[in-house]
Chains A and B, each alone.
Chain A
C-alpha cells in the first residue's frame, strides 16, 4: 500500500482565494511526522510546514496550515490568500518513527494560481 497518497495531480485556484491540497497517509507507527514541501519550477524543495503525530493542535506557518485529522489519517495543506508565487508542485511526506531512511513522499500536486 502507498504510504503517502496525493490524489490531486493538478489544481487551479484564483488569486487571493484559499486552496486545500489533499494528503492521506498510512502507518501503524504511533510516532510519525508529516511534512509539506513546495517545489517551484527552479527545482529546489522548500520546507513549508510540519505536524507531529502527538501534536494536539494543527500546525500553522503564515499562510500555510495543516488540517490534521488523525483518525482519518489525513494531513491536508491549506493555503490561504493564494498568490501567483504559490504556483508550484507540492509534496506531502511522512517520516515514520525516527529511523534514518523511513521517509516517504507522495507523487505531488501541481498548483496553478490564476490571476
Chain B
C-alpha cells in the first residue's frame, strides 16, 4: 500500500534562516506531488505541484521553492524565512486521473 512520510512534525525557526521540509512517498511510482500551506484557522493554499522528477510548477509567487530530486521525494525550501511563512505545511500525493489526495501528517512551522 502507498504511504507518505513528511518531516519534521514541528519546527521553530528564526526570521532569515533557511528552511528544508522533506516528503517521501512509498508504494507508488511517478506520483503527482503537492505542497500545501494552511494558515491558522484557514483553508488550504496550493504552493507547488510536480508531475515528475525536476518538474515543478508554482501556484503562488513567494520566497519558497520546491524541488523533486527523485521520483518519490519532494522538498520545500526557503533561503530566508519570513514571519508570514508560519503555518501548517502539508505534502500530498495522488495518482493521475480521477483520484483524490493522500496527505502527509504535516509540519507546523513557526517563524519567530
Interface residues of A (CB under 8 A from B): 33, 35, 37, 42-47, 50, 52, 91, 93, 95, 98, 100-101, 103, 105-108
Residue of A nearest to B51 (CB): A100
Query: Measured between C-beta atoms, what is the minimum distance from B49 to chain A in Å?
Result: 5
Q: How far is the CA of A45 from the CA of B104 in the complex (A)?
A: 8
Residue of A nearest to B89 (CB): A43
Interface residues of B (CB under 8 A from A): 32, 42-44, 46, 49, 51, 57, 59, 88, 90, 92, 96-98, 100-106, 108
B51 — which chain A residues lie within 8 A by C-beta?
A: 100
Residue of B nearest to A33 (CB): B98
Most buried by A among B42, B88, B100, B102: B100
Is there an interface contact between B43 and A103, defined as CB atoms closer than 8 Å? no
Most buried by B among A35, A45, A46, A108: A45
With A35-B100, A43-B106 already in contact, the answer to whether A101 and B59 are too (CB < 8 A) is yes
A46 — which chain B residues lie within 8 A by C-beta?
A: 103
Q: How far is the CA of A107 from the CA of B105 in the complex (A)?
A: 19
Is there an interface contact between B43 and A91, defined as CB atoms closer than 8 Å? yes
Question: Can you pick out 18 interface pairs between chain A and chain B where the beta carbons lie within 8 Å of each other?
Answer: A33-B100, A37-B101, A37-B103, A42-B105, A43-B88, A44-B103, A45-B101, A47-B100, A93-B100, A95-B98, A98-B96, A98-B98, A100-B32, A100-B51, A101-B46, A105-B43, A105-B44, A108-B42
Query: Measured between C-beta atoms, what is the minimum distance from A57 to chain B in Å?
Result: 17
Q: How far is the CA of A33 from the CA of B98 in the complex (A)?
A: 7
With A100-B49, A103-B46 already in contact, the answer to whether A44 and B106 are too (CB < 8 A) is yes
Query: Measured between C-beta atoms, what is the minimum distance from B108 to chain A in Å?
Result: 7
B42 — which chain A residues lie within 8 A by C-beta?
A: 107-108
Query: Measured between C-beta atoms, what is the minimum distance from A74 to chain B in Å?
Result: 18
B46 — which chain A residues lie within 8 A by C-beta?
A: 101, 103
Is there an interface contact between A43 and B97, defined as CB atoms closer than 8 Å? no
Residue in B57, B90, B100, B102 whose CB lies within 8 Å of A101: B57
Is there an interface contact between B90 and A45, defined as CB atoms closer than 8 Å? yes
With A47-B102, A101-B49, A101-B59 already in contact, the answer to whether A108 and B97 are too (CB < 8 A) is no
